[in-house]
Chains A and B, each alone.
Chain A
Amino acid sequence: MEKVLEEIDFLVGDKFDTVYLLNQHSFDVFSDVTLSFLSDISKQLINSPFVRNYPDVATFAFYCRYANLKVIKMNYTSDIKLMIGRGILFHIAPGNVPVNFAYSLLAGLLTGNINIVRVPSNNFEQISIIVNAINKVLTLEKYKLFFSNRLFLVKYNRESNATAFFSKICDIRIIWGGNQTIDDIRKFPISPKSTEITFSDRYSIAIINADFYLKIKDKSKVAMDFYNDTFLFDQNACTSPQTIYWKGSIDEIRDAQEIFWKNLHLILAEKKYELQPISAVDKLTMFYTQAISYGDIEIEPRMSNLIWRIKNNSIHRDIDLYKCNSGYFNEVVISSLDEMTQVISRKYQTIGYLGFPKEELQIWIKNNKLLGVDRVVPLGRTMDFSLIWDGYDLVNILSRKIIIY
């Protein structure tokens, strides 16, 4: 047995046998046993008494329902006749998103692979809930044979050689950023035939059609949606909008902004969102940094330090540098989407939208061949997981297509 294994804490899977693993065959993509395994995990989670405290776990459980997985499979069926897993996946999950590791694993399982997942070192309750559910389902006789030796959830110290070890034996390494983590992990080589997927730091925005917003009856629902996009993860997820582009006439936008932010305030009070003291200092520091760099921004009047709104009097191409968290929003007034085109760099990931017809968005993106933006999502759903992420089709990338002529 390799010495490195002693440094590793196995939350799921205990008999790690490298030689055995390297000789294990992959499963078909979307195999029946995998779908049933995942849906049993889903059931286990939904029935767990803890799940109601963790909407993120509930969302994951909901995603893994048999019915949902079946729909996803249907959308791929035409291609998947000769698609099997690539082999061994080594996932490195981000340290501060409790449930992200589970989605990464989900993608790896659906594509028929052997999975080694490094979970966050933080002791998030969500991790134990999911780990317990998986371990419970693994005790079922019908899955033991299939999964017990090819599914590993691990924790280890920063100093451990485990990253080097897993990197050497994996077929695909999946690194969920930030950039610093990616740079650090890339110091460990993967084998020549192996490949890597990285999810680096990204920047996301929202676009709101003021006129459309003003006509919506349920403003509170919009506020709740926006809260889920931002404050639910301290406005610190890659998908969280940082800048809001308001489209419309000056008067419409002014009215819309007033109602929009007032409603968000109500939601924050209802949710008892707590601002960490240092975040208030961070916002002030970021604001002055931006003020010195741009020279033409203004702070909008505010009720508290929860929501900081920065009025931009012109369009700045490097606005993604002035990104804070926990409620720091740049706002820009535009009269057409075309004004934004020049701003969107490779770093842009998600656009949350409200009040734009899909066709308009399609035409805008198609005509301008934007450098960035991988997802355009209705406001409130920017965090939704999809098997197409950051422009990667995970099912395709994590599997091998075999051609017979």
Chain B
Amino acid sequence: MENIEKFKLPEITLFTYDKKRKHEFFLEHMLELFEHHCQYSAEFKMMMSSISYQKKNIKSVEDFPFIPVRLFKIFELASVPRDQVLKTMKSSGTTGQNFSKIFLDKQTSLLQTRILTKIVSSFLGSTRVPMMIIDCESTVKNRNQFSARSAGITGFSLFASKRVFVLNEDMSLNEQVVKQFLEDNKSKTIFIFGFTFIVYQHFYRELLNSLQKFDLSNSVLIHGGGWKKLVSEAVDNVTFKAQLNSICGLRRVHDYYGMVEQTGTIHMECENGYLHTSEYSDIFIRNSNDFSVSRHGEEGIIQLLSLLPISYPGQSILTEDLGTIFGEDDCKCGRKGKYFKINGRLKNAELRGCSDTYGESFRRN
């Protein structure tokens, strides 16, 4: 209970803090979070003492250490007693051998919902809207297993006045359901949600081969989950939007970038195609040669910081994604904060020497 008082994050009109104010705000809260995790996670404490972390050496947000996301696959990292864990989120590992496990207590879970709502409604508006989910219902039915996909759907359902799943169990598109839903909600803005690859494969592709024409020019699509599976199809963000627009008139399409390790503080794509940090998150691009901070415009490894992880030490993580920050506070969309793009994942190592150096537990998904 003491925690809840300590981590009371203020209500902020999002995307309004300029660089200086954001830094002050973020530094203060991040210092508290580091102290909290050093106190309550034995593993985190050991990591910090191995690099001689000291509060007094942190002068700026970029001075905070970061831990690689892969550690959440190797260890069960939590900063609350196990009996306070409300639910355990699991990453959708592609090969399924090693999942990230993220332990959420009530406080963190509520906080995630609160901030996610704030961020998304700043794009979608604060009234609830009819929601069309490009997925099948069974994805969310198994409540014991929180995958990133089911968590995404459940999380975004907060914005729904009513919702419908438009894929059949075999992932084929149920055109009849789409048609009915559009008729029932004529003249309303419809919120379409789905994972990038699923939207492309099971929605766009099926519409392409269908005689049925739908008009979605009054809808908003929010999608996420990454482009990895679409790289082989040579589909990038621009192509994705253009193709969807041509097939059903969709104009408002927002990608989002988030990690299961930092649920809540997602980064939404603005009208100009850039992902944005909010007041509750921050990003640095790290140079792999020495982990120094790269300049704007330079590509490097993405470090993400979030003020939400309280029940597990995920407040400062090094991802395995490559990205570029393009600027801060001056995106043409008018939002304050850093704006950036993702350029894909780090390549697997091609090493000389003998084979099989990694233990199973160390293998990347």
Contact = CB atoms under 8 A, between A and B. Distances in A.
Given A97-B353, A201-B356, A325-B353, A285 B68 contact: yes
Contacts of B359: 321
A304 B291 CA distance: 8
A279 interface: yes
B242 interface: no
Interface stretch (A136-144, A206-214, A270-278, A360-368): A270-278
A234 B52 contact: no
B288 A97 contact: no
B231 interface: no
A160 interface: no
Contact of B353 (A236, A280, A291, A297): A236
Contacts of A233: 352-353
Interface in B312-365: 318, 320, 322, 346-357, 359, 362
A298 B52 CA distance: 8
A177 B357 CA distance: 10
Interface of B is mostly: loop
A284 interface: yes
Nearest to A242: B357
Given A284-B68, A288-B50, A288-B68, A277 B355 contact: no
A295 interface: yes
A280 B347 CA distance: 12
Contact of B289 (A282, A297, A305): A305
Interface string A195-213: 0000001100000000000
A17 to B, nearest CB: 32
Interface residues of B, number: 35
A78 interface: no
Contact of A177 (B52, B75, B346, B355): B355
B351 A285 contact: no
Contacts of B318: 281, 284
Interface in A301-358: 303-306, 321, 323-326
B58 interface: no
Nearest to B320: A281
Interface string A253-283: 0000000000000000000000111111110
B68 A201 contact: no
Given A277-B347, A285-B362, A288-B67, A94 B354 contact: yes
Nearest to A290: B50
Nearest to B353: A236
B46 interface: yes
B359 to A, nearest CB: 7
A94 to B, nearest CB: 5
B233 interface: no
B75 A292 contact: yes
B354 A295 contact: no
Contact of A280 (B46, B291, B348, B351): B291
A103 to B, nearest CB: 13
B133 interface: no
10 contacts: A178-B356, A236-B352, A276-B351, A277-B301, A280-B291, A281-B301, A281-B346, A285-B70, A298-B51, A325-B357
Interface of A: 94-98, 176-181, 201-202, 232-238, 240, 275-282, 284-289, 291-292, 295, 297-299, 303-306, 321, 323-326
Given A278-B349, A325-B357, 10 more contacts: A96-B352, A96-B355, A177-B354, A178-B355, A278-B346, A280-B301, A282-B349, A291-B46, A292-B46, A298-B52
Interface of B: 43, 46-47, 49-52, 67-68, 70-71, 74-75, 288-291, 301, 318, 320, 322, 346-357, 359, 362
